[in-house]
Amino acid sequence: MFAVTILGNNSAIPTLERHPTAQVVTCNEQLCLVDCGEGTQLQIAKYKIKRSRLRYIFISHLHGDHYFGLIGLLNTLNLLGRTEPLSIYGPAPLEQIIQLQLDSAETQLKYELSFVPLTPGYSGIILIDKELQVSCFPTQHRIPCFGFSFEMQKRKRKLLPDQARAYEIPAAYFSKLQDGEDYRRKDGTIVKNDWVTLPPPPAKRYVYCADTIYDTGLLRWLEGADLMYHETTYLHELHERAAERYHSTAVQAASLAAAARVKQLLIGHFSSKYTELGPFLEESRPIFERTAIAEEGVTFLV
């Protein structure tokens, strides 16, 4: 399963109805947390996210609405007796911020916490796991900020059973064929792997654009994505304010989704001045039909 569960979709100030940014990316058994606004650990409890499966945390930037929930979560994992390692990827100063908080409380974590600093402006692959590959890319915001692209690897080739049988390959060998191996017959002749299999289906991709001004430079990361998330802090009537604060509008997010020919668009990071979210859809759907509100507690398949 490759899916995104929304835990928070508000910007800046937490409200009783909406929480600051946090999302969980599920890649089969492993979970990634993407941003960790205040209250994230309560949202994790509310939506029954399995904390023990959390393996990686990605923090886009150091505005508080994207990481003020982090130390609380790390501390709770420790109190719950976690022993599995946990890795955090984020802007370099975050490492010191966490360490200062732990040191001041004389907290010794019982699990291994590793930190991977992201250099401002860097783009490229930051994580390769057995099923998951994650890249980061810079977004244009008031302070250094990163988007993340999650790709779920499908490494197994597609077996053509009739062809394999025609070459008299025993069924017990089929899983090796899916891994890309050739087959040597008893008479020594080789059955080439691509005679009996097809390449694996293309990897599915979720692209999280974090906080950003409207920027067509993001298109190279978004092109053909299965699911993209883009912030829409404001409706388009406030596009000037959006630009001043390095944020975007629903119209702008939808235009990027259309230009990038993604399959689905998720919008979030709504200013707390909006109590109704319907107008965000009304603005974006005429430009990009397959738009959804990043509603808290809802899981979107990639």
Q: What residues are designated binding site for Zn(2+)?
A: 61, 63, 65-66, 141, 211, 269
Closest contact distance (angstroms) between CB of 61 and Zn ion is 6
Residue 211 binds to Zn ion (criterion: CB under 5 A): yes
**Of 20 and 288, CB closest to Zn ion:** 20
Shortest CA distance to 2 belongs to which of 234, 203, 274?
203
Residue 245 binds to Zn ion (criterion: CB under 5 A): no
Q: Which of these segments, 13-21, 80-88, 159-167, 209-217, binds Zn ion (CB under 5 A)?
A: 209-217
**What are φ and ψ of residue 85, in 5° steps?**
-65, 155
Q: Which of these segments, 36-44, 207-215, 227-235, 259-267, binds Zn ion (CB under 5 A)?
A: 207-215
**Of 143 and 198, CB closest to Zn ion:** 143
**Of 18 and 63, CB closest to Zn ion:** 63
Q: Which of these segments, 38-46, 56-64, 268-276, 290-298, binds Zn ion (CB under 5 A)?
A: 56-64
Closest contact distance (angstroms) between CB of 46 and Zn ion is 24
Q: How many residues bind Zn ion (CB under 5 A)?
A: 2
Closest contact distance (angstroms) between CB of 63 and Zn ion is 3
Residue 63 binds to Zn ion (criterion: CB under 5 A): yes
- What amino acid positions are annotated as catalytic residues? 65
Residue numbers at the binding site for Zn ion (CB under 5 A): 63, 211
